[in-house]
Amino acid sequence: MSEPQNVNNYDGPVFHAEVSGTQFAWNNDTVTQNQQNNSAVAPGFEALAELVTDLLRQLPQAGLADQDREDTESAAREVLATITQPNPHEEGRLRRALGMLKGALAPVASGVVTGTAVGAQEWARTAIEGLTRLV
């Protein structure tokens, strides 16, 4: 004889692991959400933080494939996390984080990535130039 099957029906989101720093909307018609990260940027890195924040804001309009967009977003967030540390240059962390971000943008800038939005190639080129100039 087989064991009876246990079925759980939940009337809402269920998390089976720790959830931190996330936002979600459930069972509504419209939603507006805002989240602020008030981490202090290390002195001298304000312009870089502004450039990377702007890049993240424009990223959804670049028309990248999901994986390319996620990789670029992850690399940009790594740069931001690094420049909120007391010593961003320590152990080459910033150099590595910027290298990841430039590497994620390079295929777009060179035109290798197809299906991107009009102007995405120039946008990526300008972003890479800005990242190079600011550091």
pTM over 0.75: no
Residues 6+ apart with CB under 8 A from 120: 62, 63, 64, 108, 113
Residue 114 within any structural domain of the chain: yes
Compute the C-alpha angle 91/52/89, nearest 5°: 15
CATH of the domain at 74: 1.20.1440
Q: How many domains does the chain have?
A: 1
Residue 19 within any structural domain of the chain: no
Residue 50 within any structural domain of the chain: yes
Residue 3 within any structural domain of the chain: no
b/e string for 35-70 if b means 16 or more Cβ within 10 A? Answer: eeeeeebbeebeebbebbeebeeebeebbbeeebee
Amino acid, res. 64 = L
Q: Give the domain extent around 96.
A: 46-134
Residue 76 within any structural domain of the chain: yes
Residue 102 within any structural domain of the chain: yes
Ordered per-residue pLDDT tens for the chain, 135 residues: 677 777 777 777 777 777 665 666 676 666 666 555 556 898 999 999 999 999 999 998 888 888 888 989 999 999 999 999 888 888 788 999 999 999 999 988 888 876 677 788 899 999 999 999 987
Residue 45: closest CA among 8, 97, 102: 97
- C-alpha 57/C-alpha 2 separation (Å) is 54
Residue 27 within any structural domain of the chain: no
